[in-house]
Homo-oligomer: A and B are copies of this chain.
């Protein structure tokens, strides 16, 4: 991990060789706020994506998923402020029109242009505003444009989310960078937000797809803000191949494993940044489940706690009300024995062998003053363990989402 201040100012999604980006205001949000981004690779990149499992998936999701079947892409156009979801046939035509215009501006084939949108569900996309801004957007493309793009994709986020790492593969330096947006409506079983990962690694589309899916499963699919699953969530990965490393063709090869670990580091960092900037969040909460029968069970228990409004509000109130954790676990439809659960809050074991441990509340309360909460749940059912990340539920969350 070597991030120079200069690199940071330019953004991480354009750090790998072959990528340019831009982020400008086209007037969707108003007030001159950046709301339109473009990410471009100078050559046809190996490309992969994972998308929301919501049945009402947005028009740009349908379009991108379809075009990614080829395993190749050159550009992604992203707008914030309007989701272009639940907009029917006309929404699909809108996304097609915009990618066609981008292709025209870049003199590339429109089948290699992907799209993503985030914002309100229902309204039509302001196509004219976006089309009019495209020449300026393309004109602004730069290898220093990553930060501008990272700003343009945000909605209620309070800060941009970026990550970068470098590894050596086959004697060559390979860079992986990324940007993401999150805030609310974050939940697993999907890409859960927008993330864009770029790398100059040489890797086949098939291998990139496998490695991306694994790393999403262990990062973005292990976080939750409010249990809602959005219509638009997408994770994209583009690989330019310009690092000139020996082509990675298998995820389980030596090179594949190195690349996979590095990619996992990037997605984990972006996922954590999303949770730390959750809508209205005042606390970062890490829930570890160990000793579960399998990963599915561990995740089910972890998410039962992470999505409990009562647990989340208690954490906001700095109340060591661990009974709400047990209650959430008990409602999770997992057939554990009460006697086999051990519950630890901020390092203090509060419940084991079917009964509360004698821990004074006056000892626990000060432990919740900080910004981080660690919950550990240990079962005696097997060897699976999972870590789920979430944040607290605050009055600010409600205020942010009431419009």
Interface residue ranges, A against B (CB under 8 Å): 53-57, 83, 85-90, 120-122, 184-185, 187, 189, 226-231, 307-310, 313-314, 316-317, 319, 321-324, 326-332, 334-336, 338, 351, 353-356, 393-395, 397-399, 401-403
Contacts and interface: CB of A to CB of B under 8 A. Distances in A.
A354 B89 contact: yes
B399 A88 contact: no
A309 B356 contact: no
**A88, A332, A402 pick with most chain B CB within 10 angstroms:** A402
Contact of A231 (B189, B330, B356): B330
A97 B185 CA distance: 48
Given A402-B313, A402-B314, A88 B355 contact: yes
**A55, A319, A394 pick with most chain B CB within 10 angstroms:** A55
A28 to B, nearest CB: 16
**A56, A86, A90, A338 pick with most chain B CB within 10 angstroms:** A86
Given A85-B323, A122-B321, A56 B338 contact: yes
Give me the 9 closest cross-chain CB pairs, A-B, nearest first: A121-B323, A317-B402, A88-B355, A56-B330, A395-B395, A122-B323, A55-B330, A229-B331, A313-B401
Nearest to A335: B55
A307 B226 CA distance: 10
Contacts of A313: 397-398, 401-402
Given A121-B326, A398-B316, A398-B394, A228 B86 contact: no
A206 B122 CA distance: 51
A310 B231 CA distance: 13
Contact of A230 (B88, B327, B393): B327
Contacts of A89: 354-355
Contact of A336 (B55, B397, B403): B55
B327 A56 contact: yes
Contact of A228 (B55, B328, B356, B403): B328
